[in-house]
Amino acid sequence: MKAGPQIAGLAALVGDPARANMLTALLSGAALTASELAAEAGVGLPTASSHLAKLAAGGLLAVEKQGRHRYFRLTGSDVAAVLEGLMGLAARTGQLRTRPGPKDPALRHARVCYDHLAGELGVALFDSLARRRLLELGEGELRLTPKGRHFVADFGIALAPIAVLQRPLCRSCLDWSARRSHLAGALGAALLARIYELKWARREPGTRIVRFSPRGEEQFRHLLAA
């Protein structure tokens, strides 16, 4: 037995406020520099450097150096999934010094979850795909149906390039705010990218908020209703 120590090490990494702040900042999917993360966490640069080294050693962060900058990002969407899971727990168990700030409704409405869309609109997207049988359960994992493939192609996404990636195409991710599933995986990422490309929405700088334009949201909802 004794699986305890293994998960304890990881959990302890997340268990420091400064590191937790860094990780949640990286939930935006962007790669950030050590200085940015230090500011985000509210600690000095030496402290941040130490924390980042530990997170990288623990396998939660990957580093990429570009010139004199070092960019950090989460090593995978599974890290993001665990973090969102913890947020869900925090919401339920009432660690709620949450006290809904002004940005909170926007976060609930549409936000980025590592690299895909979450929040009400993310859940709505998932629901729509499931309702119209564009997505189905096959062999225990989510799969696009032939109809789903057409839908994706019509939306302007070429499946071939992303299907060869190692990561699973479709994956569900439990939503922190809505407690429902939304679409993750390579397809989830591609859909969000396309939404940006169509200028239906853009990222609110420095936050996880995805801000849809009125017209963009209308078109998005139309896409789901079809």
According to the binding rule CB under 8 A, does residue 89 interact with a copy of itself?
A: yes
The single-letter DSSP state of residue 204 is P
| Among 4, 6, 7, 68, interactor with DNA by CB under 7 A | 68
Total residues at interface with a copy of itself (CB under 8 A): 72
Total residues at interface with DNA (CB under 7 A): 23
Q: Which amino acid is at 16?
A: D
- Taking the alpha carbons at both ends of the chain, their separation in whole angstroms is 51
| Contact indicator for 169, 180 with CB cutoff of 8 Å | no
User: What is the rounded CA–CA span in Å between residue 88 and residue 154?
Assistant: 34
35 to 54, contacts with DNA by CB under 7 A? Answer: 35, 43-54
| Contact indicator for 25, 14 with CB cutoff of 8 Å | no
| Contact indicator for 123, 135 with CB cutoff of 8 Å | no
According to the binding rule CB under 8 A, does residue 10 interact with a copy of itself?
A: yes
**Contact letters for a copy of itself, residues 23-62 (x by CB under 8 A):** xxx--------------xx----------------xxx--
**Contact letters for a copy of itself, residues 160-179 (x by CB under 8 A):** ------------x-x-----
According to the binding rule CB under 8 A, does residue 149 interact with a copy of itself?
A: no
User: What is the rounded CA–CA span in Å between residue 5 and residue 13?
Assistant: 12
Q: Which amino acid is at 84?
A: E
Quote the least distance from Cβ 212 to DNA, whole Å: 32
Quote the least distance from Cβ 225 to DNA, whole Å: 45
